[in-house]
């Protein structure tokens, strides 16, 4: 694991703390989630639910995840055997890859990719086969021929993240259809990271569509999400995996030796949060969309060429108009130049040249924090 060093998020948050810069690097909200969820966690702690919970997760959370999957995506999962609770999406991704891949198996993933993907693939001794998302038409797309060429006889799974971090891309039904057809042709499993499932903005080209809902895909998909983003509790690390019994039980077999179980009293609280009325999810999305719009305005005024963000907590921007050529150098100098922290996206590519001049900003922050960042960025 030596090549992996410290994660870019820890590095950039430490830089923000050291320099007093406004931290638009690491994607975590600076306000708390629903009060009912916080109260339920405190109540669970004070009512003695502080010992090991069941391995697959507490029954009420598995039931709540099942009801949520049905209500939002029309997907049926049996809380008993088709859903397990994990230590965030991060453990869910690691457990799925470790469960399904033998050394030398290949994992198709889109780059830029969330940093834990490469590490989890390496832990399994598997090989990543990245397909590059390139900036085009103000947004991001991939070349279907490149996607097809990434599949082969050793392909075991496709790791798909939509809505996508760091680009803010939402994969369209057409793109998902292409991926699904290749999964069938090459008998591959789709492992999907849908932690931003509720953050698709109203002006996106497509709504969120879980690939598991496409014909034939439920049987070959492990669908992953987590409470961290939707309920502003990234430090709780409560996530889940839904899928067919055989694949889920394989992931559970690995999970039991990674963490055994996780955060007992937080699980019933997340069940309460998942049961929020539809208006919660709409307001959550609309609030983030307004923040996106405001930050995009500020970035444009500061001279960045802003790329389209259709979802997530993030927007990416090209530094070329500001005379920047290398995102890492640019982000390391930014706190001193104007007191703001951003994340260079080239660290999420195998082919760093594809993202060298692109940097990512998080807008999941209080309005006054975003305004302060905008004021500072004008100094560039």
Q: Which parts of 80-206 fold into alpha helices (H)?
A: 88-100, 115-123, 144-150, 173-185
- Closer CB to ligand GLN, residue 7 or residue 19? 7
- Closer CB to ligand PMP, residue 229 or residue 376? 229
Tokens standing for 174? Answer: 């057409």
- Closer CB to ligand PMP, residue 90 or residue 324? 90
Least distance in angstroms from the C-beta of 169 to ligand PMP: 12
By a kind-dependent CB cut-off of 5 to 8 A, residue 298 interacts, out of ligand PMP, ligand GLN, none, with none
- Closer CB to ligand GLN, residue 27 or residue 311? 27
By a kind-dependent CB cut-off of 5 to 8 A, residue 88 interacts, out of ligand GLN, ligand PMP, none, with ligand PMP
CB-CB contact of 44 with 61 (8 Å): no
- Closer CB to ligand PMP, residue 295 or residue 302? 295
Residue 165 in contact with ligand GLN, rule: CB under 6 A: yes
Cis peptide, bond prior to residue 268, ω within 30 of zero: no
- Closer CB to ligand PMP, residue 227 or residue 247? 227
CB-CB contact of 145 with 88 (8 Å): no
Q: Is 138 left (phi over 0), alpha (psi -120 to 50) or beta?
A: left
Q: Which parts of 196-235 fold into alpha helices (H)?
A: 227-230
Please say whether the dihedral angle defined by the alpha carbons of residues 310, 316, 318 and 321, taken in this order, is positive or negative: positive
Question: Residue 375: which residues within 8 A CB-CB, separation 6 or more?
Answer: none
Residues of this chain that interact with ligand PMP (CB under 6 A) are: 27, 88-90, 114, 161, 165, 193, 195, 226, 228-229, 234, 237, 239
**In the window 15-54, what residues touch ligand GLN (CB under 6 A)?**
26-27
Least distance in angstroms from the C-beta of 9 to ligand GLN: 3
**Of 230, 240, 249, 216, nearest to 85 (Cα)?**
240
Least distance in angstroms from the C-beta of 191 to ligand PMP: 11
Burial class (CB in 10 A: 0-12, 13-18, 19+), 338: middle
Residue 7 in contact with ligand GLN, rule: CB under 6 A: yes
By a kind-dependent CB cut-off of 5 to 8 A, residue 120 interacts, out of ligand PMP, ligand GLN, none, with none
Count helices and strands (H / E) in the chain: 13, 15
* CA distances in angstroms from 88 to 41, 82, 226, 234, 372, listed in the order given: 16, 17, 6, 8, 31
By a kind-dependent CB cut-off of 5 to 8 A, residue 210 interacts, out of ligand PMP, ligand GLN, none, with none
By a kind-dependent CB cut-off of 5 to 8 A, residue 9 interacts, out of ligand PMP, ligand GLN, none, with ligand GLN
Member of 9, 72, 73, 281 binding ligand GLN (CB under 6 A): 9
Binding mask 110-149 for ligand GLN (x = CB under 6 A): ----------------------------------------
Residues in the chain: 380
The site that binds ligand GLN (CB under 6 A) totals a number of residues, namely 5
- Closer CB to ligand GLN, residue 7 or residue 249? 7
**Of 86, 15, 47, 42, nearest to 251 (Cα)?**
86
- The residues binding ligand GLN (CB under 6 A) are 7, 9, 26-27, 165
């Amino acid at each position: 694991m030596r090549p992996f060093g410290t994660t870019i998020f820890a590095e950039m948050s430490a830089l923000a703390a050291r320099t007093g810069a406004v931290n638009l690097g690491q994607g975590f909200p600076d306000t708390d989630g629903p009060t009912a969820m916080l109260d339920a966690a405190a109540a669970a702690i004070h009512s003695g639910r502080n010992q090991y919970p069941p391995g697959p997760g507490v029954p009420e959370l598995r039931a709540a995840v099942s009801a949520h999957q049905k209500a939002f995506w029309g997907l049926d999962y049996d809380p008993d055997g088709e859903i397990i609770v994990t230590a965030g999406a991060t453990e869910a991704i690691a457990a799925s890859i470790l469960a399904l891949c033998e050394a030398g198996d290949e994992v198709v993933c889109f780059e830029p990719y969330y940093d834990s993907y490469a590490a989890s693939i390496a832990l399994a001794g598997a090989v990543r086969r990245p397909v590059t998302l390139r900036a085009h038409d103000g947004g991001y797309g991939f070349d279907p021929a490149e996607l097809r060429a990434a599949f082969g006889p050793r392909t075991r799974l496709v790791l798909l993240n939509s809505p996508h971090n760091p680009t803010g891309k939402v994969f369209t039904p057409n793109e998902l259809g292409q991926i699904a057809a290749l999964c069938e042709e090459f008998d591959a499993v789709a492992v999907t990271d849908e932690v931003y499932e509720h953050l698709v903005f109203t002006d996106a080209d497509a709504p969120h569509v879980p690939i598991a809902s496409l014909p034939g895909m439920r049987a070959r998909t492990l669908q992953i999400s987590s409470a961290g983003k939707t309920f502003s509790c990234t430090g709780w690390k409560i996530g889940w995996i839904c899928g067919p019994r055989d694949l889920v039980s394989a992931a559970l077999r690995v999970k039991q030796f990674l963490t055994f179980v996780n955060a007992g009293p937080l699980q019933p609280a997340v069940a309460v949060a998942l049961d929020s009325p539809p208006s919660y999810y709409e307001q959550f999305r609309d609030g983030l969309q307004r923040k996106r719009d405001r930050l995009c305005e500020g970035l444009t005024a500061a001279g960045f060429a802003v790329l389209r963000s259709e979802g997530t907590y993030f927007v990416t921007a090209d530094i070329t108009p500001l005379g920047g050529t290398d995102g890492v150098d640019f982000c390391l100098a930014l706190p001193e130049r104007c007191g703001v922290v951003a994340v260079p996206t080239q660290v999420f590519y195998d082919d760093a040249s594809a993202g060298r001049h692109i940097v990512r900003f998080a807008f999941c922050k209080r309005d006054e924090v975003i305004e302060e960042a905008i004021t500072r960025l004008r100094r560039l």
